[in-house]
Amino acid sequence: MKYRKLGNSNLEVSVITFGAWAAGGWMWGGTERNDAIEAIRAAYDLGVTSIDTAPIYGQGNSEEIVGEAIKDLPRDKVQILTKYGMRWDLAKGDFAFHSADTKGKEIDIYKYAGKESIIKECEDSLRRLGTDYIDLYQIHWPDTTTPIEETMEAVAQLIKQGKVRHAGVCNYNIAQMQEAQEYVNIVSNQVPYSMVKRDIEEDVVPFCLENNASILAYSPLERGLLTGKMKPGYVFAEGDHRAGLYFFTDENVKRTNAFLKKIQPLAAEKEATLAQLVLRWTIEQPGITIALAGARNEKQAVENAWALTIDLSAEELAFISKELSLLRLNKEIGEPVN
């Protein structure tokens, strides 16, 4: 495994970081708790020491699973990345969307990052995670109802208290990052990035490179689309959010698989899966510090970790990018959430 520092901090994280959204079950059609715990532990054994989670993932379930998985591991060898600012238990803030919890109960999700809320969320996360500090604390989505100054000063207070080590943001644009930086040292921005979603290359990537901020790429496998395992006509389980995303229309699955077929010989030459090849390509892109890779069982976790054993030459990276430039997806239905 390789490790990279976040921004100008001393926090080193594994280049492949365990993404624990699916582990929480919410919006993924459920999950098996023991499988998720074993997945995290198997990844750790292969050097994946960093875990990204959030309270909203399963309404606390994901953080509890992470806490259970790491309870017997040396705390200073694990990096916990979690978030705040998405509330399902408080009808206040910037309404995000209507959903169902892991038990099927209808819930409203709000983006809210007021000071009192952040302090409470931090305490709740520490309890669920079974730890006394969070390595990287990230606002989950921008909250238009709360001044950025109030939000970031609350995080700065938590850092001063030792409950948080470093501050990050998620899904922030350049102006929001610049404003947040006025009140606390922002070391990273977690944003969607994959072979089929590369819009951040136009603005966020150049800004982060110039300002020494790290980019944490989430959904690098585009929620399973880029594994090559998705076929037209696939029926998602009840509650799986992917059923409503344009990436997974039959036509887009066909187009993506046609591209993957072109790079399959390179994966075979490397004795790698398509998913491993995609992950390796992702972390070699300019400005991308780490890739968050989710896993719902030990087999998937091990496969993700082994992506770092692949070596890609400049010519091979250029070949993949050239073939990728010919891929066009039809964007007619819903945009992803995270």
DSSP 149-177: HHHHHHHHHHHHHTSEEEEEEES--HHHH
3-state secondary structure of 281: helix
- Based on the residue annotation, tell me whether 172 is a catalytic residue of this protein: no
DSSP state of 270: T
Q: Ramachandran region of residue 234, left (φ > 0), alpha (ψ -120 to 50) or beta?
A: beta
* Cβ(152)–Cβ(180) below 8 Å: yes
Give dist(CA 93, CA 103) in Å, integer: 24
Of the candidates 3, 44, 57, 172, the residue annotated as catalytic is 57
- Pull the structure tokens for residue 173: 């644009």
- Pull the structure tokens for residue 208: 């982060």
Cross-strand partners of 137: 82, 167
- Pull the structure tokens for residue 218: 């989430």
Q: In terms of C-beta density within 10 A (0-12 exposed, 13-18 middle, 19 or more buried), how is residue 31 classed? A: buried
Catalytic positions: 57
